[in-house]
Amino acid sequence: MLSYSHQNIDRSDIEVVSTALKQDFLTGGKKIEEFENALCEYVGVKYACVVNSATSALHLAYRVLNVNEKIVLTTPMTFVATANAALMAGAKVEFIDIKDDGNIDPEKLENRLKKDSKDIGAICVVDFAGNSVECDKISALAQTYNIPLLDDASHALGALYKGEKVGSKGDLNIFSFHPVKPITTFEGGAVVSNDKEKIEQIKLLRSHGIIKKRLWDSDMLSLGYNYRLSDVACALGINQLKKLDTNIEKREIIAQFYEKEFAQNPYFATIKIKDYKKSSRHLYPILFFPQFYCQKEEIFQAFIDAQIGVQVHYKPVYAFSFYKELLGEIQLENADKFYKAELSLPCHQEMSLQQAQFVRDKLFEILENLGPKHG
């Protein structure tokens, strides 16, 4: 099965993990700080805290932003963790509709803030598929209304916005190291920032809220968690980070092949990356035209039958039963349309151009076989 995304594990990764397994400290050792420093250098920020998942990273970020009993404005076009973690931190969640690239719409965000901004605890954006949000506009809004900006850049490690790394402009920024993401630590995540105090608070919460005092003595200052990332995982992360730019370029080659081959086809559109952005190409989404919405299950199954892994990103968060019970029925026009239209094709560094050609050929074969009524 050709998967829609895939980790890149080579001999060098296996060697660093094997070496880490032979060390005295499998967790709580020097590799954690080494990985954090490497992330800071790569992203262009001063401080980082690595944790055991991006969900944990989000939870801790919301905690230190003090969103309890406040509203978090976020996108519905994301994995549920973006919103779930806000609820875990005691916040209420409100969804803002998206643009046609899957990212939160700055104009709709501004309209919501103009209506009432006094109870907003944070704005959380997601760089969908590795393509940056309109960072300047959103940052300006956050500053105008004095609201913390959290960038869930889980898709976007290595992406650029106007020449600067995505995940460096929020008050706090989140990365994911799940195997389908740009780099992996098996499972893992990080919060990065230029705010020293916030990262220190997050590091305290990462390990039970406990600080070492002297000899055997310690003190618990806050109700924290065990969100630590192991030294073995960090050793892998350090090595993965060295290969990131090369792997993104390999993904870009596949994406550019698709762009050329899919130009002006009668079945679907692609998401164009603006000149001042560079995507990490975490996903390669296509957006079917409306006449194909009701055939998407059939298309999806045909890909699976052909041993090609595809996925849909995402079912709007408000469409899940839990959120329906919590918030009632919600309809956001663009998010609903995007969900009906979107399908993610395989696009990753482990693919060859021949495999991309196979995906292209199979895609057009499937669509042509749907019948003349769709022409």
Q: To the nearest 5 percent, what fractions of the chain are helix, strand and coil?
A: 45, 20, 40
Contact 198, 185 (CB under 8 A): no
Cα dihedral across residues 325, 329, 332, 337: positive or negative = positive
Q: Which two tokens stand for residue 364?
A: 């057009």
Contact 292, 268 (CB under 8 A): yes
Q: Which amino acid is at 244?
A: L
- Catalytic site includes residue 181: yes
Cα(49)–Cα(167) distance, integer angstroms: 13
Greatest extent of the chain over all pairs of C-alpha atoms, in Å: 78
Contact 94, 73 (CB under 8 A): yes
User: Which 8-state DSSP code applies to residue 300?
Assistant: H
243-259: buried (b, 16+ CB within 10 Å) or exposed (e) per residue? bbeebbebbbebbebbe
Catalytic, out of 169, 181, 250, 362 = 181
Residues taking part in catalysis:
181
